[in-house]
Amino acid sequence: MAFLVVGSTAHALILDDFVDGNINNAITSGMGATYTAATVPGGFRYTDHFIDSNPLGLTHSNIIVNGIFASDSKTLVDAGSEIAWGVDSNGNAGVGTDLSANLSGFSAFKINILSNDLPATIQLGVRSNSGSFVNSSVYNVAPGMIMMNQSITINFSDFGGVDFSDVDAISMVINTSASGDIVIDSFEAVPEPASMIALGLGAAALVARRKRNS
């Protein structure tokens, strides 16, 4: 399934808002992957999670329900999660799963976070032109933001050598602190801020013209 966005746009493009493809996958050790049909680029969403330390033998869960993705660690569980689009059920990228997405009309990715309690990090990876994944820098998610919105913006310039006119796959790796919980609301591609300003000025001018003509 190709996912094409051709030409320039001044609107954000929602890549995943977690409205379907629900999961509730819990592990106490090792890794645990899911692959579900969803309203996302490529039609399928891959998730995985891994436990680094679990002295009490409790669980880490990847949860998608009611329009959110949650990485939920019980007491002292140190774990991380991955979400990927444009990969197969084993998390591998290839010709059969390529998104063929043209994101050249955008300039950054934006991750909208609903809640985060302890220090955490997010890193994105992008694969283009059937090459290898190119990873962004690692971005810190502010702690102490329980049920408080925050956003992480990662500019396309952070992905050296990626051709955003032919994006094959995208990955997101989330690492939380031991006992940490993070809730993500949506993942978007966004235009340059100047484009948004121009759109706002254009709308204001249209309103002004209508007022003069009324």
108-116 and 181-190 as β-strands: parallel, antiparallel, unpaired? antiparallel
| Domain residue ranges in the chain | 13-213
pLDDT in tens, 78-134: 999 999 999 999 999 998 899 999 999 999 999 999 999 999 999 999 999 999 999
Greater model confidence, 150 or 11: 150
Of the pLDDT bands very low, low, confident and very high (cuts 50, 70, 90), residue 206 is very low
Does the pLDDT of residue 214 top 80, yes or no? no
CB 124 within 8 A of CB 108: no
Tokens 């934006």 belong to residue: 110
Predicted local confidence at residue 106, as pLDDT: 98
Backbone angles phi, psi at 207, to 5 degrees: -60, -45
200-212: average pLDDT = 45
User: Which residues is 175 bridged to in the sheet?
Assistant: 80, 121
pLDDT in tens, 85-100: 999 999 999 988 999 9
Given this model, what pLDDT does residue 11 score? Answer: 87
pLDDT digits (tens, 9 = 90+) for 136-190: 999 999 999 999 999 999 999 999 999 999 999 999 999 999 999 999 999 999 9
Q: Which amino acid appears at position 205 of this protein?
A: A
3-state secondary structure of 213: helix
Residues 6+ apart with CB under 8 A from 98: 86, 130, 168, 169
Q: Are 4 and 100 in contact (CB under 8 A)?
A: yes
Q: Mean pLDDT across the chain, nearest whole number?
A: 90
In this structure, how many other beta carbons lie within 10 angstroms of the beta carbon of residue 52? 11
Measured in residues, the chain has a length of 214
pTM: 0.86
According to CATH, the topology of domain 13-213 is Jelly Rolls (2.60.120)
pLDDT of residue 70: 99
Q: Tell me, what amino acid is at 27? A: I
